[in-house]
Amino acid sequence: MLKTYLKRCIFCLALCFAVSSHAHNPPYLIISEIESGRLTFENEQIAAEYAAASKRLRIRRLEAMPWTKKIYVFIKAGFEHIIPDGLDHILFVLGLFFSSLKLRPLLIQVTAFTLAHSITLILAGLGLVKIQGSFVEPFIALSIVWIAVENTLFKKTTRWRSLVVFMFGLLHGLGFANLLSQYGLPKNNFISLLFAFNVGVEFGQLFVLLLAFIVAKTLFKNSWESGKIRVPASILIGCAGLHWLFQSLV
């Protein structure tokens, strides 16, 4: 044990003296070189260590918050994950919006999507399902392309549409879970915060739909009816989806 004392003491002494009133040449520089070798700087490693430390810091800060504040923070996080950060999810929801002129099928689809991504978010959040982000990303992009293609080619939505949307919802949930795990969830109140995050995501989604609805009803009342907006908008959404698809594959 004395060995480590020695090493330790060199440092603490040296540093104490280095900054105390009238400093002599700090002796620790030379000694520490010998004792511990040179430091090598590998940027990737330093960045990875920094990210891990940032996560620990966030969790510490979160754990120190009162319960209500934590809930608020996670609802906000879920919301921000859609607006403004989740452009891919926004486009997917808009894709659903452009698919149907009637409220009922839209509600069914949105509910299916919500149910599905809640299931996977919670399963992944609890650690029951583990899937790499790099695996999920291309599928999320593909889901956007698929919805856009459907919107463009078919006048009416297919019977299987709700099921397809449900499957895509499962994927999107995994995407949310990945980001949430990078972000870190405090261990106490785990479930309630996971739930709060999900609620935030729903709010974000509803907000997108509401906005789309208002815009459509006020600005494009006529062209909307004839599908003039529906097709070009879906093509744009599809292009964005394709772009992400290539990006995630490369």
Partner 1 sequence: MGLLIFASCQQNPKMNDNINPFFQEWNTQYQVPPFLQIKDEHYMPAFEKGMEENLAEIDSIVNNPEEPTFENTIEELERTGKLLTKVQRVFSNLAGSNTNPKLQELQRELSPMISAHYDKIALNEGLFLRVESIWNNRENFSLTDEQIKLLKDTRKQFIRSGALLDSNQKEEITKINSKISELSTQFGQNLLAETNGFELILDDDELDGLSDGVIAAASESAAQKMNEATSPEEKAKYENKYVFTPHRSSMYPFLTESTRRDLREILYKSYVMRGDNNNENDNKEIAVEIANLRAQKAEIMGYKTHAHFILEDNMLKSPEEVYDLLIKLWEPALKRAKSEVLDMQAVSDSEGNNFKIAAWDWWHYSEKVRKAKYDLDEAELKPYLSLDNVIKGVFNTTNKLWGLTFTEIFDIDLYHPDARIWKVTDKDGSHLGIFIGDYFTRSNKRGGAWMSSFKGQSNLDGRERPVVVNVCNFPAPVGDDPSLLSFENVTTLFHEFGHAMHGTLTNVTYPSMAGTSAPRDFVEFPSQVLEHWASEPEVLKSFATHYQTGEPMPDELIEKLLKASKFNQGFINTEYLAASLLDMDWHTITSDVVLEDANSFEASSLAKIGLIDEIAPRYRSTYFAHIFSGGYSSGYYSYIHAAVLDSDGFEAFIEAGDVFDETLSSKLRKHVYEKGSTEEAMDLYVKFRGRKPIIEPLLKVRGLDGKPD
User: Which residue among 123, 131, 162, 183 contacts partner 1 (CB under 8 A)?
Assistant: 183
Least distance from partner 1 to the Cβ atom of residue 63, Å: 9
Stretch that binds partner 1, among 10-18, 91-99, 158-166, 230-238 (CB under 8 A): 10-18
Cis peptide before 232 (omega within 30 of 0): no
Q: Do the Cβ atoms of 129 and 182 come closer than 8 Å? A: no
Q: Per CB under 8 A, does 5 bind partner 1?
A: yes
76 in contact with partner 1 (CB under 8 A): yes
Alpha carbons 197 and 71: distance in angstroms, whole number: 8
User: Under the criterion CB under 8 A, does residue 1 sit at the interface with partner 1?
Assistant: yes
**Which of residues 176 and 216 has its CB atom nearest to partner 1 in the complex?**
176
- Using CB under 8 A, which of the segments 22-30, 106-114, 144-152, 205-213 binds partner 1? 22-30
Chain Cα centroid distance, residue 222? 37
As measured in angstroms, the least distance from the Cβ of 50 to partner 1 is 7
Number of neighbours of residue 160 by Cβ within 10 angstroms: 9
Counting every residue, how long is the chain?
250
Q: Contact between 179 and partner 1 (CB under 8 A)?
A: yes
* Residue placing its CB nearer to partner 1 in the complex, 185 or 216: 185
Could you tell me if 250 and 170 are in contact, meaning their C-beta atoms sit under 8 angstroms apart?
A: no
- Does 45 participate in binding partner 1 (rule CB under 8 A)? yes
Closer by beta carbon to partner 1, 105 or else 133: 133
30 binds partner 1 (CB under 8 A): yes
- Min dist. Cβ of residue 110 to partner 1 (A): 21
Q: Does 54 bind partner 1 (CB under 8 A)?
A: yes
Classify 181 as helix, strand or coil: helix
Closest C-alpha to 210, from 69, 106, 70: 106
The DSSP code sequence of 39-107 is ----HHHHHHHHHHHHHHHHHHHHHTS-HHHHHHHHHHHHHHHHTTT-HHHHHHHHHHHHH-SSHHHHH
The two tokens of residue 118 are 């809640």
How many residues interact with partner 1 (rule CB under 8 A)?
67
Cβ-based nearer residue to partner 1, 63 or 225: 63
Least distance from C-beta 182 to partner 1, angstroms? 8
Please name which of 213, 209, 143 lies closest in space to residue 173, comparing C-alpha atoms: 143
Question: Interface residues with partner 1 (CB under 8 A)?
Answer: 1-37, 39-42, 45-46, 49-50, 52-54, 56-58, 60-62, 64, 73, 76-77, 80-81, 85-88, 179, 183, 187
